[in-house]
Structure formats: C-alpha cells, structure tokens
Structure 1
Amino acid sequence: MARGGAELKLLGTWASPFVLRAQLALSFKGLTFENVEEDLRKKSDLLLTSNPVHKAVPVLLHGGRPVCESLVIVQYVDEAFAGAAGPPLLPADPYKRAVARFWVAFIEDKLLAAWQKVFTAKTDEEKAEWMKQTLAAVDVLEGGLKECSKGGSFFGGDHVGYVDIVLGGAVPWVHATEVLSGARLFDAGKVPLLAAWLERFGTLKEAKAVMPDVQRLVEHAKMKQPEAVAAGAAGDNRMAGGGDELKLLGTFGSPFVLRVKLALSFKGLSFEDVEEDLANKSELLLASNPAQKKVPVLIHNGKPVCDSQVIVQYIDEVFSGTGPSLLPADPSERAVARFWAAYMDDKLLASWLQAARGKTEEEKTEGLKQTFAAVETMEAAFKTCSKGKPFFGGDSVGYLDVTLGALVAWVHAGAALYGMRLFDDAKSPLLAAWVERFGALDAVKAVLPDVDRLVEFAKMKQAQTAAAATAN
C-alpha cells in the first residue's frame, strides 16, 4: 500500500527504460507499490483493459484507475502525491516547469529516438548517421543540464527532478551499451557534466532500489539483438493582462503555432505575433530555441518557452486566474488529457502528415489508413472525455480541444483540396459535430486562418516539393 492508504500497482517489464521512469518516480516520492511483471508476448487481461489504446506498459493503477504513458505517469505521481515524503519532481514556478517539460520532450524526440535507431539500422551507413545524431543530441543536452542545474548536482538543481527521472530511465542501458559495444554515450572528455551526472544519479539509494542489474541487461540484449538494446523490452513510445509581455514566434499554416494561438485566445491574452521565415531564421528564433531551432516559441517577459504542448500547459499554469482552465484540476483527469494529447500528435497528426508528404503512393495509402484508424480511436476518446457534453473538456473547451482544434482549419482545407473529410459524419459523427461546434466559437474564429488561403498555401508547397524532386 502507498503512503496515505492508496493502492498502487505498476504493470511493466523489468528491462524497459520507460517502466523504470515510473519506478523511479515512485521511489523518489517514497511510495511503495506492487510491481506486476507483464509478458508482452501474452498480455494480461488487466493490461489490455487498462490500456486498450496502446496495449503497452507502463500502466500505473491507483485505486483501480489506470494511468498510461511513462511521462504522464511521472507527472501524475508528482501531482497526486504532492504531500508525500519525497521532494516535488516538477518545480513550482510555471516557467521552470515549462523548461523542464521542454528538455524532457528533447530527450524523447531527439536523443532517445535517434539512439534507438542506432540499434535497428539495417546498414552501417544508417547506423553511423543515427549515432551522429545521437551524439549531437547529447552535446545539446550537456547545455541543458548546465542551464537547468544552475550549478547544482541534478537537472532539478540540488535534488532530483522531472528531467532527472526521465533521463534516469536510460541509465542502466547507457552502462549496458558500453559493455556491449564499448561506446560511451556520455563521454567525460566531451560531456563532463552529463558523465558526472550519470555516476551521481546511479549511486542514489532511491535509484539503486529499482534499477535493473546491468549484467542482466547485457544478457537480455544479446538474446534480443538487434531490436532491444536501446528500447528495452517495451515502451510507450512537446502584451497580456497584468503587464505581461507575450511574443509568439511562428509561421502561417503551422497547426502547432495555431495551437498556441488558440490557448492565448481562450485565455483572453493579447500578444505580438511574429512571423518567421524558416528559410532564413531570425537571430531571435535561433537564440530562443537553440536546441530545435523551430517554431512555435512563446517569449514571456523575455523568457522563451518552446514546443506547442509545453507552451499550452505553461499558458494555463502561469495565467491560471485568466480565462477558463484548460487542464482539469483532478490529477487523474489531467493525466487522461495528457495521454490523449500525446496520442493526437504521435498517432493522428503523424500519420496524417505521412499521408500528405509520402513520397510513394504506398506510403500515402499506409499513412491514410493509420490516420483513419487513429480518428476511430479519437471518436471513442471524445465520447469518454466529454461525458456527453459539447467538448473534450466537458461543458467548456479544455486542453484536448485546443490540441486537436489546431487541425480544424486543415480539416476543411483537406476537404477542399482532396474531397476527403477527416472527420466523416457517418464514421465519426461525434468528432464531425465537434469540428463545427469548435470552429463556431468566437475565440477560435479570432485566430483560425482563412481556409482558402490555406488551400493556396498547400498548393504552393506541393509545387515547390514537386519542383525540388524534379531538380534532384
């Protein structure tokens, strides 16, 4: 039983770095839990019913209610057990929370994504390229540690925080990889801060209490080669009221930029809209987002916040007294919202972009197939989250409405360009009705781009792509 009498059960697999994240969060919070080892070749009914969307570990059951996805679980543990003996994992200051979430997204999208592909590459050339990208991400993360720690021992400063937990899930695999291949991911000569952090984190009693044995990981990797080294056995696989100056760096047509504009609009916040030329990026953009060098970037009183989902959460937290709350107050409901927001980006939007940008008809067809499968899943999610009310957030617009709402203009543009309705009245009637309802809101109409302009923009981009392909 966990502190406070709440039953905690963690479904996972021993070698997964994503499961280890959840274990580390629970350990640093001083919470006891039942660790349930899953056989992913024969998944239990408990796992399948607890995570019917991904059917993957980790899943945390708290009083019988499931929380899925490692990053969602870590944040949930921190929020649901705010009064536990362990220190808070996310800082209290909204800007510092946004910075932590940004670096977590960087670890996921740049470091771990590239590192995993090193071990699944089919050719030596591919392997070398992915290792190059991995080490480049490590170099950037060295700067992230310096920025976040401010001279302290951890990303969280003097004590372990959110970024430490997320990167800490990979620590045993860093050591195992060195044994297997001789490659040091965090080389003391090149990234001394990360190398020292690696050793320091691994000696903490809370970490040692849950980390798997490195030699056992090595044997596991040899048995599972080539697919298991990086990923482990499984995984889940970013001027206002009160005198605050807000400046948004973005580009026309970007749904990620529009997502931020929607959040600002629903909060009733005015801002300076700065249009970036991504072919000739401004010094302000490069200085504000040196890790990714992309939009959107929100600059709040001179401080940059990057990655659209991070920015939306930041806006909701720092302007909590302005406009409606986007994320629900209940930690469990917040975890559900974050889960579905990640699903929208990782499944729905990613496959839709593949359908639009695929180089072959096969790629486009497969992308479209995955897109409609994701839409079907989102239809069920809307029914669950809305509880029969008009929006994902219930009676009022919430985090998921803003996240998906960024696609509304492109849904209409797609229908004009291809005669294809992403949210069809017959197949996804709840989402089809939501699109019309959401698009009619004043706060949405204030920032949604003109559909005809989007259509012309898309045609221009298609012509540029075709011309470049012909030239090549």
Structure 2
Amino acid sequence: MAGREEAAGTGGGDELTLLGVWPSPFVIRARAALILKGLSYRYVEDDLTSKSDLLLASNPVHRKVPVLLHGSRPVCESRLILEYLDEAFPACGPRLLAGDPYDRATARFWASYVDDKLFSTWIPVYNGRTREDRAEAARRVVGVLEEFETAFQECSGGGAFFGGDGVGLVDVVLGGFLGWLRASEAMCGVRVVDPATTPLLAAWAGRFGALDGVREVIPGVERLLEYNRMRRALRGLPRVCYLNAQTVRLASPAQRQSKIGLVTSQESVEGNLAMAGKEDLKLLGLVVSPFVVRVRMALGMKGVSYEYVEEDLLSKSELLLASNPVHKKVPVLIHNGKPVCESLVIVQYVDELFAGPSILPTDPYERATARFWAAFVDDKLVPAWIGILKAKTEDERAEKATETLAAIGQVEAGLAELSDGKAFFGGDSIGYLDVVLGSCLFWFEALRRMHGVGIIDSGRTPLLAAWAERFGESAEAKGVVPGADEAVQYAHKLAAATAAAK
C-alpha cells in the first residue's frame, strides 16, 4: 500500500486502522475523533490516483476514504465513523453526541448541513478557473458560515464549543474543514472565517484548532496550497497565483430576519421522556413525499399519537418556513414547539426518544452499516429516480434510468449481505433501512406506469422484489405508504404547475 503508517492515540485496546489521505477534511475529522477519544489506531495513507486493494475491498460501493477498519470490519463515510466510535467506545474520551435525544438530533442536522451545503459551496473555491470565480464562491461560503454563527450561539449554550463546554459532533465535523477554510483566503482573497463577520465562529475556530492532538492533524495553509497547486495541474486547471497578506474583507451582512429553527434543547433525557408522554407532536408533511412517509412509519412503529398537517409546497405555510428556515421543506416534526428537520434525523430522534420496538439495530457496527446504506439510498438512489421524473428529454430520462438501475443493483447486493437470508434488511422484522427504502416503493411503481422504468423486478433484482412484496404487505406499511395512483396524480399536478409558470 502506498504511503506511510503511523500509530497515534492511546487506550482502547482494539485493532483500529484508518485508511485516508492527509488533505481530506473527511479524513481529518476521523483522525481528530480518534485522538479526542484517546484511541490507539494505525493510520495508512492511501493514493487516490492508484487506490490500494485494501481500500477497494473495504469500500467497494464508494471506493473512497476514510475507511475505519475495526479488526476486519470496515466502517465507511466519515460522519458514520464518528458515530460508530462514540457507540463502540462509550467509555473512551468525551462523548461526541449528547445524551439528550433532541440535542443529538440538532447535532446530526448541523453535521449533515456541513457536508450538504458547506462542502458543495466551497468546492468552487478549490477548483474555480479564475480568481473572480473563486472569490464569488467564497462569498457564498461566508453566507453558509453565517448560519453556523447563529447555530453556534444557540447550540453552545454559552460554552466554548458547539457541544457546549466540551467538543461534540458538529465541532469535529466542521473542524475537519478548518485548514481549507484558512487556505481559501490565499486562493481568492476573501477571508471566509472573519472576526468582523462571524466573531463567535472565528473564536471557536481558534479554540478547536489549538486542541492537543487536533492541531497536529489539521494541515498548515502552505502545505494545502501546494496540494491544491498539484491537483489543479493534474486536472488541467489554470495555475493560481496565491495571495499572501492581501485580503478582501467582506462588509458585515445584514442580520437575517429569522432565527434558525432547530435549536438546542436544555432539557435532560428524563425531561424529554416526560414530554414524550404528553404526545405533543405535530408533523408537517406531504402525503406523497417518501421522506414524510418514512417518518410516519417510524411514528407508527412506536405507537405514538401525533397531529399531521399537510403542506402545499407550491404555497408553503408560515409555520413551515419558521420551523425549517434553513431548507424550507418537509418533513418537520415539532415536539413541544421544538422543530426537528430532515427525515433520517427525525427517524433516529423518534427511535431514541420513544419506547417500543427498536428501529435501528442495537449493535454499533450494525447501526453503522444501516446508516451507511440509508445514506446511499438518499445520496445515490433517490436523486437518480427523481431525475427520471424531472427529465426533459428521452435521452436524459434514459441516462437517469441507467443511474437508478445501477444504484438499485448495489442495494440488491447489500440486501443479500445484510439480511442473512431473513425477510428484511433488519432481519426478521422491519428496521431502519427497510423504512428508508420502503418509503420510495410507491414512486417506483408510479415511474413504471408513467415512463416504463421497472426499478425493482424479479428478473434483475429477485431479492428486492421478494422483499418489496413482503414490505408492502406488512402492518407497518399498510395505511401509511400511499398508492402509486396518488404519486402519478401529484406528478401531473407538478408538471402542470411548471408549465403554467413558464
């Protein structure tokens, strides 16, 4: 294997190996978590231009780093690695996720926002062709970081970190990007973490970056700039003349009119459980949204009463906009006036808060595996099949159909491995991944009727075909999962609205 190997951390006593590349913010966060937890591990530097056999065998789905090997068992995707370390080694170092379910949901929301919004917004700073392109992208990054300025004020409770007095999940996830955020100034002349615009975040960055152990794994600016220069040359991008002291300071932005809706609870676990007993729950949703369907299934599996409010996404309610000002979309679960957003976050929140059958597996490795495949469904499969629906030409539709079938083929292989010959992904009963994928099935049938695309069929995906039949007949799905007719009608409604708006 290419690269160097080193030992780091102390304690733990388990065989841990981390496959990575040093400049990756995703690898940096995994290394920081291992150090903060005080865990001994072997770090193996990979070469992404000539990926090692170990990496390809350990992460055959995405073929990327980081990968944590615990013994011979791989855990892939950086945020899943952090949660796995917290759950597999609860007695080692600080807990990255709080004990309170609402605080955990809040942390998962913002950790997801780092990857979904900050990273995608920052990438043009890294590979923009001109300084103007890079500077414009950096200004958009500043806008995203303003959200984190408000989030820090609300999540920290006056403490030094997003996690309060101690480092938590959001600190580590966002902290993985610190080196690159600092290097962005030299790339384009815009200071993205500026005490003048985001003073709380700037002070936090100084504290986090100075932590023992963390400081050593965050690369210096000059080293990152040299790596950026090399990568741009390999990709044929124009050479960058990096800036030194020159900085374009952005004027302080106008204060946003609304606060971030997802705030940190100060209640204890016992207080949350007491509130759960009141069943003061309201779900903002859309009947034909697969993301809403999975939340309704989770609530039903727990036997929890709740008020359901149907939203019109062509004319969003003030309650929705106030409850989810970051994404402005459903589902939103409002628990005693406190909103929880994003379907996967909500399902885990429901599972952790309420009594009843467990939706996620109890074993930490099995939980990490279930989270991995749930993320695959939402990151790969869902955008592909929605692309079939939104395609403007037959060629585009055929391309998205090919992507969808490739993704569902990987899920078929995942089912063979995870179910161990049992009825569901979760074993003998419906679990987390069953809920996540099962919420899409009625749209799969709608796409078959509308465009002739058979996403799951007994010839190509026999295991999934049998699973889908069992899922559709289950008590958990009946009465919650809509029919394909409703999806077809909604698709026609959206198409008509789009045509009328032109």
Question: Given the two structures, how large is their TM-score scaled by the length of structure 1?
Answer: 0.92
Distance 1:228 1:293, change over 3 A: farther
- Find the counterpart in structure 1 of residue 256 from structure 2: none
Which amino acid letter does the alignment assign opposite residue 412 of structure 1?
Answer: E
Moved more, 267-276 or 155-164: 267-276
- Find the counterpart in structure 2 of residue 418 from structure 1: 451
- Find the counterpart in structure 2 of residue 254 from structure 1: 289
The whole-number CA distance in structure 2 between the counterparts of 1:27 and 1:119 is 27
The whole-number CA distance in structure 1 between the counterparts of 2:395 and 2:470 is 35
Tell whether 2:52 aligns with 1:44: yes
Distance 1:458 1:52, change over 3 A: same
The whole-number CA distance in structure 2 between the counterparts of 1:132 and 1:372 is 38
Higher relative contact order (CA 8 A, sep 6+): 1
Which amino acid letter does the alignment assign opposite residue 253 of structure 1?
Answer: V
Out of 198, 204, 207, the residue aligned to residue 197 of structure 1 is 204
The whole-number CA distance in structure 2 between the counterparts of 1:439 and 1:132 is 47
> Which whole-Å deviations, capped at 9, do the CAs of 1:58-95 have from their partners, x for residues lacking one?
000111211000010011011111101x1100000001
Three-state SS of the structure 2 residue aligned to 1:205 is: coil
Which amino acid letter does the alignment assign opposite residue 298 of structure 2?
Answer: A
- Find the counterpart in structure 1 of residue 3 from structure 2: none
Q: CA deviation at 1:449?
A: 1.6
Tell whether 2:147 aligns with 1:114: no
The whole-number CA distance in structure 1 between the counterparts of 2:141 and 2:498 is 28
Three-state SS of the structure 1 residue aligned to 2:412 is: helix
Distance 1:32 1:75, change over 3 A: same
- Find the counterpart in structure 2 of residue 294 from structure 1: 329
- Find the counterpart in structure 2 of residue 234 from structure 1: none
The number of equivalent residue pairs is 458
> Which whole-Å deviations, capped at 9, do the CAs of 1:19-68 have from their partners, x for residues lacking one?
01100110110112111000111111111111111111000011121100
> Which whole-Å deviations, capped at 9, do the CAs of 1:198-232 have from their partners, x for residues lacking one?
11111111311322232111111112128799xxx
The answer to whether the 8 A contact 2:125-2:188 is kept is no
Tell whether 2:242 aligns with 1:209: no
The whole-number CA distance in structure 2 between the counterparts of 1:362 and 1:104 is 36
Three-state SS of the structure 1 residue aligned to 2:69 is: strand
Tell whether 2:71 aligns with 1:63: yes
> Which whole-Å deviations, capped at 9, do the CAs of 1:126-158 have from their partners, x for residues lacking one?
656644432221111111111110111110011
Out of 418, 429, 451, the residue aligned to residue 396 of structure 1 is 429
- Find the counterpart in structure 2 of residue 348 from structure 1: 381
Distance 1:26 1:387, change over 3 A: same
> Which whole-Å deviations, capped at 9, do the CAs of 1:277-302 have from their partners, x for residues lacking one?
22332222122112222111001122
> Which whole-Å deviations, capped at 9, do the CAs of 1:386-422 have from their partners, x for residues lacking one?
1100100000111100110110111222222223221
Q: Where does structure 1 lack aligned partners over 5 or more consecutive residues?
A: 230-237
The whole-number CA distance in structure 1 between the counterparts of 2:312 and 2:125 is 33
Tell whether 2:147 aligns with 1:140: yes
Q: CA deviation at 1:444?
A: 0.8
Question: Given the two structures, how large is their TM-score scaled by the length of structure 2?
Answer: 0.87
> Which whole-Å deviations, capped at 9, do the CAs of 1:150-174 have from their partners, x for residues lacking one?
1111100111100000001001111
The whole-number CA distance in structure 1 between the counterparts of 2:85 and 2:27 is 13
- Find the counterpart in structure 2 of residue 24 from structure 1: 32
The answer to whether the 8 A contact 1:221-1:228 is kept is no
The answer to whether the 8 A contact 2:424-2:430 is kept is yes
The whole-number CA distance in structure 2 between the counterparts of 1:102 and 1:138 is 15
Three-state SS of the structure 2 residue aligned to 1:178 is: helix
The answer to whether the 8 A contact 2:293-2:481 is kept is yes
RMSD: 2.2
Three-state SS of the structure 2 residue aligned to 1:225 is: helix
> Which whole-Å deviations, capped at 9, do the CAs of 1:362-391 have from their partners, x for residues lacking one?
432222111110010000001111110010
The answer to whether the 8 A contact 1:27-1:210 is kept is no
Over the matched positions of the two proteins, sequence identity in percent amounts to: 53
The whole-number CA distance in structure 1 between the counterparts of 2:407 and 2:376 is 8
The answer to whether the 8 A contact 1:265-1:444 is kept is no
Moved more, 124-133 or 431-440: 124-133
Which amino acid letter does the alignment assign opposite residue 351 of structure 2?
Answer: D
Q: CA deviation at 1:268?
A: 1.6
The answer to whether the 8 A contact 1:392-1:400 is kept is yes
- Find the counterpart in structure 2 of residue 34 from structure 1: 42
The whole-number CA distance in structure 2 between the counterparts of 1:185 and 1:379 is 43
- Find the counterpart in structure 1 of residue 247 from structure 2: none
Distance 1:209 1:106, change over 3 A: same
The whole-number CA distance in structure 2 between the counterparts of 1:127 and 1:278 is 34
> Which whole-Å deviations, capped at 9, do the CAs of 1:298-338 have from their partners, x for residues lacking one?
0112211100000000011011x22x111111111111011
Which amino acid letter does the alignment assign opposite residue 30 of structure 2?
Answer: A
Distance 1:370 1:393, change over 3 A: same
